[in-house]
Chains A and B, each alone.
Chain A
Amino acid sequence: MAPPELDLPLAETPASRFLAWLAGGLTYLAVLAAAAAAFAHGTLLRLAERPVLVTVALPAVEDPAEAERQLAAVRALVESFPGVAWTAPVAAEEVGRLLGPRVDRNEDAQPRQALPRLLDIRFLPGAEPDLGELLRRVRSLVPTALAEETSPELSTLEELARRVRWLGAAAAVGVFLLMLVAVSAITRTSLDLHEETVGLLRLLGAPDRYVARQFERFAAFAALSGGSTGFVLALSTLFALLYLAPRFGFHLLPVEPRPLDWVLIAAVPPAAALVVTLTARIAAAIGLRRLH
């Protein structure tokens, strides 16, 4: 990409030349930050749709009829609880398998004593059940009953995803703010360096908007050229993290990017270019007012 031909020799100024590198580096960081936020958001959405599973454990009862009656009563009570999709008693064999060597068995490998009963409860997607209330109600029937969410690792993942989403969004905003400050500083430095040429342009009748447009055009070029490079490098980094790392046994990110995530990521370089271009123009316009 050839730089635009400008009346001001901005491409020859070290401060201005740095602009393309800066735009590239910051676009790279902004893309990664936006990707982290987008992927984390997608993960949170998936987690929100994943049903909550809770298992209620009822203590062993020697009388099978009584055990059956108690389980049916608890099941009926649980099914009336808000958000419950369905319930399913866990088969005795499965309970026995879960308890393993702690179960005293006869020659036929049958348990010698009654086993606790387990009731799996599945909540509707998006439901946020009050497990304390559920347990309180169950204990009104069976005082020693227990209840726990059977996928506790999900809440850890959810918390992690929330943090990554917050950090990613904050980092993206931070990078854009840094871009704003750095481009303003570079533009003002360039303006000071080219004060004499700016004076000549004014003497030839150039209005301030003509001069400011020179900075704007250069900044747009720097943002697009540097930003393209930063974008390609950021995509390569994401590709490596998402698709190559797992092949070598590194499962860094449990994410499944959505098409919308890629749209958001693709929007970062144009947004960065827009910020750089507008900032350069506004900083130049303000700086020109300062110059005599």
Chain B
Amino acid sequence: MDDDRGQATILQLLGVGMRYGSGEEVLRDIDLSINAGSFHYLVGPSGAGKTSLLRVLSLSRPIARGKLVVFGHDVRELDRDRLGRLRRRIGVVFQDFRLLDHLSVFDNVALPLRIGGADEERIAAHVSQMLAWLGLADFMEAKPPALSMGQRQLVAIARAVITRPDLLLADEPTSNVDPARAERLMYLFTELHKLGTAVILATHSREHLRRWPFPVLRMEGGRLLSPPASERLAAE
């Protein structure tokens, strides 16, 4: 499954629908292909289905219909263990951070590495380096409740990128940080993108779209309005 640039397709959605419980579908007829190493913004008004789409892509919610292929695997055919292996290749920044309050900042960030079976020496080196880069070196032993919203968001981002995932899904990752930190984070995301990580970043920030122009996925009413390759901020 290759696109026009000859890159592997890591995500493919065909006629995907998703609903919460027995309610109405919040995602309808989603067709989408994402290539390895690509960068996309996901935009749309509140309630358009951005977060729901990210939940489907992060394999945290099952689809109601259609087909979802992740890293070449139809997720409906995977058992829980193999699904777990795929999830380890995906970094997710949640809108509500979802940090574990009883763990230190260090341990929160180290979590994906520990789950992946990394040795403690490597974990210590990677996590310390990441936290220092994000300006959180002095907060390694702090617990999330002691941090500001912005700091928590940084910790959530650090946790999502610490394994250098193949796919990074970020839901409003710069909404709670100051402009300087937001810029630093965008730098981090674009650097990851350059290193080969595909990034899908849900945002409301026109500033981001202007300063770092990448294809835009626009959502409304649970539908994806336009194919990514045809839509760039410049074209708008």
Contact = CB atoms under 8 A, between A and B. Distances in A.
B84 interface: yes
Contact of A203 (B81, B85, B92, B101): B92
Contacts of A7: 100, 103, 107, 111, 114
A251 interface: no
A122 to B, nearest CB: 72
Given A5-B107, A199-B60, A204 B112 contact: yes
Interface string A189-209: 000000001011111111110
A205 B87 contact: yes
A206 B114 CA distance: 9
A5 B111 CA distance: 12
B31 to A, nearest CB: 25
Contacts of B101: 9
Nearest to A210: B115
A12 interface: yes
A200 B98 contact: yes
A63 to B, nearest CB: 98
A202 B107 contact: no
Contacts of A292: 62
Interface residues of B, number: 26
B115 A205 contact: yes
A202 B83 CA distance: 9
Nearest to B89: A205
Nearest to B80: A208
A204 B115 contact: yes
B102 A204 contact: no
B115 A201 contact: yes
Interface in B202-232: none
Given A207-B81, A208-B80, A202 B87 contact: yes
Contacts of B90: 205
A207 B60 contact: no
B5 to A, nearest CB: 28
Nearest to B103: A7
B56 interface: no
Interface in B128-153: none
B142 to A, nearest CB: 15
Contact of B84 (A9, A197, A199, A206): A206
Most chain B CB within 10 A, of A199, A200, A204, is at A204
Interface in A200-243: 200-208, 210
Contacts of A207: 80-81, 84
A286 to B, nearest CB: 13
A218 B98 CA distance: 23
A12 B114 CA distance: 22
Given A7-B111, A197-B100, A205 B60 contact: no
Contacts of B116: 205
Contact of B100 (A200, A203, A205, A208): A200
B126 interface: no
B20 to A, nearest CB: 12
B194 to A, nearest CB: 24
Contacts of B84: 202, 205-207
A12 to B, nearest CB: 6
B83 to A, nearest CB: 8
Contacts of B87: 202-205
Contacts of B107: 5, 7
Nearest to B81: A207
Contacts of A204: 87-88, 111-112, 115, 159
Contacts of B111: 7, 201, 204
Contacts of B100: 7, 9, 197, 200
Interface of A: 5, 7, 9, 12, 197, 199-208, 210, 292
Interface of B: 58-60, 62, 80-81, 84-90, 92, 98, 100-103, 107, 111-112, 114-116, 159
Given A201-B111, A205-B84, 8 more contacts: A7-B114, A9-B102, A12-B102, A201-B115, A202-B84, A204-B87, A205-B86, A205-B88
